[in-house]
Amino acid sequence: MNDQLIVCDGLGKRFCRNLRKSLWYAVKDSAAELVAWNRGVQSLRDGEFWANQGISFSLKRGECLGLIGHNGAGKTTLLKLLNGLIKPDVGTIAIRGRLGALIALGAGFNPILTGRENIYINGLILGHTRRSIAKRMDRIVDFAGIEEFLDTPVRTYSSGMQVRLGFAIAIEQNPDILLLDEVLAVGDAAFQLKCFNRIREIISAGSAAILVSHQEMHIRRFATRALLLNRGQIECEGDVSDCFARYQECEPGISEALPAPIMVQPEEFRVVRYTAPTLVRERRANALKVPSVITTDLELQSSHEQEIYVEYTVWDRDGQRTRLAGMSGQNQVTVPRGTSNLSVRIEPVPAIDRSLRLSLVLVSCRAGVMLSYLKEIPVEVSVESDCIGRDGLCLALATSTPRSSPVRVVAVGS
């Protein structure tokens, strides 16, 4: 099976700054397209500029591409090209699978119609029958949280309500490719958590995503790699950290707008120490082929009681993600004021025979900000019996001290 869902080669899109010239160029281009003459010309005419130029990249199943760049760099134009809203002037786009997109606030909604009517219209446009839409209606409404306003005209919705409804419709289609353009910045923290959880489920199921955001935390949370656009061209592609470092070089003063991954002061919340993460395998002859469990204990210190959730990423020695967990109700835990110990149990980890590293992110449920980030800690291996339980991430607060000496002290902001 071909895992390539998107392949772009030499993609380019021109726009004209002058409205009258833009209309005249549109007429000429339409006529030229009808007779298949002068297609794919890469030169600019008077008043034109490249919104995108020479864009080439590919996206596979299970990947999330973080698209970053300053305002006007061409990010939204690229998403519109991928979604088929506008046609490229040069280059090719090959897309396999169903697209789900949320590019502009309120896009695709008729403001006069009610939320229910807009759900039906969007579903019919996407090829669903009325019966199929009716079956999905309850899930869409429940996710969007607009039960009381379902039969109210969309023009009366707040920006946050429109985003919630648009996102709920987009993800309910179970897309192979999900395009998101800075839309989650409008929602509140609780809705963002729901969205992040659903995005992870979609990616874990084998879909792909392209996420546009100016929030470094959001990009780091999901992206397997990043692509930096500058003046419509690719400035950097690859590791997320490398792209953000290049982003700051391209934009003087941008470092102030991109907060560090740790967003609170050390005295408010910190991980004092942690035990070495341990990969526990069952005692079998073919143990390497059996899913395993990773466990670790954290000692936390918090200035006040607060709810947090934990995200994790398991990396192999080649720097590839082995498994990416989502957020769910059981992943949230209330951390008391003062010192406490948090036991983290991740299961099942896919069976592999390579060394692993574990990254943990502790996030505030209320503020939605990162409290602490433990990056790529080496995982030790142990063999036990009957170690596999239920899927997912299990958190438990403990009153006992960690079972072993800490590997090193990790302070917030260090």
**Contact call for residues 374 and 271 (beta carbons, < 8 A):** yes
51 in the same domain as 190:
yes
pLDDT at residue 114 is higher than 90: yes
Residues 192 and 303 in one domain: no
CATH number, residue 358: 2.60.40.10
What pLDDT shows up at residue 170?
Answer: 79
Same domain, 297 and 371: yes
Q: Are residues 296 and 371 in the same domain?
A: yes
The predicted structure's pLDDT at residue 322: 52
% of the chain with per-residue pLDDT over 90: 18
More reliable by pLDDT, 220 or 207 = 207
Return the percentage of the chain with pLDDT > 70, whole number: 73
- Helix, strand, coil percentages (3-state) for the chain, rounded to 5, are 30, 35, 35
CA distances 276 to 273, 285, 337, 381, 405, Å, are 10, 25, 25, 10, 8
Residues 232 and 277 in one domain: no
Structure tokens at 181: 């353009």
Assess if residue 112 is contained within a domain.
Answer: no
Structural domain containing residue 330: 269-398
pLDDT band at 117, cuts 50/70/90?
very high
191-203 as b/e, with b when 16 or more CB fall inside 10 Å?
bebbbbbbbbebb
pLDDT digits (tens, 9 = 90+) for 47-89: 899 999 999 999 999 899 999 998 889 998 999 999 888 889 8
Residue 152 counted as domain residue? no
3-state secondary structure of 254: helix
Residue 150: its pLDDT value, please? 92
Residue 216 has pLDDT above 60, yes or no: yes
For the cut 50, the answer to whether the pLDDT of residue 413 exceeds it is no
Q: Measured between alpha carbons, how far is 299 from 270 in angstroms, rounded to an integer?
A: 9
Supply the pLDDT for residue 285: 46
Most confident of 10-24, 165-179, 204-218: 10-24
- Across the range 199-228, mean pLDDT stands at 84
pLDDT of residue 214 exceeding 60:
yes
The answer to the question of residue 405 being in a domain is no
pLDDT band with cut points at 50, 70 and 90 for residue 156:
very high
Number of structural domains (the chain) is 2
User: The domain that contains 240 carries what CATH number?
Assistant: 3.40.50.300
Cα separations (Å) of 377 from 380, 389, 404, 405, 408?
A: 10, 23, 16, 15, 10
Per the domain annotation, does 113 fall within a domain?
no
Are 234 and 317 members of one domain? no
pLDDT of residue 71: 86
pLDDT tens track for 298-342: 888 888 888 887 877 777 655 555 544 444 344 678 888 888 888
With respect to residue 157, please indicate whether it lies within any of the assigned structural domains.
no
Higher-pLDDT residue of 374 and 402 is 374
